[in-house]
A and B are shown apart, each in its own frame.
Chain A
């Protein structure tokens, strides 16, 4: 089966500019996650979707970050405006259904660099 697809792989922008990331989960996976991974750290959850509903966005900085998952398939994560501290890798993951025992399958991530 095809894995989780993310684009772009790399993005370089100047601070205060907007940026968007796209994620296509594994076909049939209802649950989608966005993570932030700083250098030398494990991923940290930003938002979790069950189908098209955001069920956990408690760690999403809503003043500048937004996300959507229209039709419960693809998802986009947006930052506006970007700040220097947003430089990181943004990972998308999906799982078949929601459940703590369900393994999450990750995309290759988008590496964001803010100048």
Chain B
């Protein structure tokens, strides 16, 4: 069964510092990977996705993620945190032939002024 693990339910970084949110998946077949952001009282907004091709994926709001097959990881990064980045970030995985999207439990990002 597919699964996603997000290490760290809460992450705090200073404004201007590097943001690193971790996501690991379990799979024996190539995955499709997604990062979503969720602001309070809103639904999930797609940040970026990896399906095939280039393993470094750029998304909205300056975020990017790198697919590392050897580490079964898809960590989300942003070079310089902004106050507006404070939100819940959720990683998700699916596989060809299985349209079910499996979500991680999310990481709440807090930005320290």
Contacts and interface: CB of A to CB of B under 8 A. Distances in A.
Dominant SS at the B interface? strand
Interface of B: 4, 9, 32, 34, 36, 41-46, 49, 51-52, 90, 92, 94-106
A35 to B, nearest CB: 9
B103 A43 contact: yes
23 contacts: A4-B43, A9-B41, A40-B9, A40-B105, A41-B106, A42-B90, A42-B102, A42-B106, A43-B44, A44-B103, A45-B100, A48-B100, A91-B43, A91-B44, A100-B32, A100-B94, A100-B96, A100-B98, A101-B49, A107-B43, A108-B41, A109-B42, A109-B43
Contacts of A99: 99
Which size class do A's interface residues fall under?
A: 20 to 34
B50 to A, nearest CB: 9
Contacts of B95: 100
A81 interface: no
Contacts of A22: none
Nearest to B39: A108
A107 to B, nearest CB: 5
Interface of A: 4, 6, 9, 31, 40-45, 48, 56, 91, 93, 98-101, 103-109, 111
Given A31-B99, A41-B106, 17 more contacts: A9-B41, A43-B44, A48-B100, A91-B44, A93-B43, A100-B32, A100-B96, A100-B97, A100-B98, A101-B32, A101-B51, A103-B46, A104-B101, A106-B36, A106-B44, A106-B45, A107-B43
